[in-house]
């Protein structure tokens, strides 16, 4: 499939790449489960444990496990229905609106970056082919992404740019601008993948790019 895509003009390649992202099983091969049908991902990021689950009906739950300053076990669970539940040492804990928003944003952000590039197939994504580029001697296709307000979440005004290797279509770099809404703190980031590994599970294999610098 990759060889066939590489022979296509950039515009056609971009459209076919988007179609592949919406049907990830075509990229990953017949032994893999399609993301969006069923997926479970677990990893540790900055000392916190995350468990991401997507179900066949499209629903999801994201869990974050950590320790607070008192050494208590804290579990935050965010679901696709919009609920957020916090438990401290197994007991339910109340959250004010500010804390709720902060936790939702933090958990959603980690999940989004961990699952890339598959979230680019979400209905709220508005992608645009942004031409080619060369970084460190490697040729890349660039994809710029904006989000629709409906379904785009609280940070729908954020802007992203992704670099896909023209040879194997790995996503090796990304940049984003955040805080574009009224009264928000503006900032930009550039990330590159390093220490790239193959994550092997009981049902599927996939490239893992969890690290950042």
Do residue 11 and residue 57 come from a single domain? no
Task: Please check whether residues 133 and 202 belong to one and the same domain.
Answer: yes
Do 50 and 20 sit in the same domain of this protein?
A: no
Residue that is last in its domain, among 115, 130, 149: 115
- What does each of the 213 residues of the chain score in pLDDT, given as a tens digit? 333 333 444 445 555 555 555 444 333 333 333 344 578 889 999 999 999 998 877 789 999 999 999 999 999 999 988 899 999 999 999 999 999 999 998 999 899 888 888 788 788 888 888 989 999 999 999 999 999 988 877 788 899 999 988 888 888 999 999 887 777 778 899 999 877 766 654 434 344 443 444
Domain boundary residue, one of 84, 115, 146: 115
What is the tally of structural domains in the chain?
Answer: 2
Residues 203 and 173 in one domain: yes
pLDDT of residue 206: 43
Quote the radius of gyration of the chain (alpha carbons, Å): 18
At 13, list the tokens. 């390649």
Same-domain check for residues 38 and 5: no
Domain limits for position 6: 1-32+116-213
**134, 208: one domain:** yes
Give me the residues paired with residue 177 across strands. Answer: 159, 188
pLDDT of residue 197: 66
Is 53 within 8 Å of 40 (Cβ atoms)?
A: yes
Q: Examine the domain organization and report whether 25 and 44 are in the same domain.
A: no
Judgement on whether residues 165 and 141 belong to the same structural domain of the protein: yes
Q: Say yes or no: 97 and 157 in one domain.
A: no
**How far, in Å, CA of 97 to CA of 188, rounded?**
26
27 and 125 fall within a common domain? yes
Same domain flag for 189 and 148 = yes
Supply 192's token pair. Answer: 């590159």
Residue 16's H or E segment, with its range, is helix 10-22
Q: Using CA atoms in the order 32, 1, 193, 156, what is the torsion angle rounded to 10 degrees?
A: -80
Whether residue 159 sits in one domain with residue 184: yes
């Amino acid at each position: 499939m990759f060889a066939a895509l590489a022979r296509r003009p950039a515009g056609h390649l971009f459209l076919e790449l988007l179609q592949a992202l919406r049907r990830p099983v075509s990229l990953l091969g017949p032994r893999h489960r399609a993301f969006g049908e069923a997926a479970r991902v677990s990893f540790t990021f900055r000392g916190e444990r995350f468990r991401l689950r997507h179900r066949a009906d499209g629903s999801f739950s994201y869990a974050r496990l950590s320790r607070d300053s008192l050494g208590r076990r804290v579990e935050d669970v965010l679901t696709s229905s919009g609920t957020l539940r916090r438990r401290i040492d197994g007991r339910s804990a109340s959250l004010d609106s500010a804390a709720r928003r902060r936790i939702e944003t933090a958990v959603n952000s980690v999940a989004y970056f961990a699952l890339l590039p598959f979230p680019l197939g979400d209905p709220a994504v508005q992608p645009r082919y942004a031409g080619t580029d060369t970084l460190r001697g490697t040729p890349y296709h660039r994809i710029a992404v904006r989000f629709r307000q409906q379904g785009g979440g609280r940070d729908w005004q954020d802007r992203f740019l992704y670099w896909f290797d023209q040879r194997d279509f790995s996503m090796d770099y990304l940049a984003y601008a955040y805080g574009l809404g009224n009264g928000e703190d503006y900032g930009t980031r550039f990330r590159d993948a390093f220490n790239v590994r193959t994550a092997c599970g009981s049902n599927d294999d996939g490239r893992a790019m969890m690290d950042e610098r």
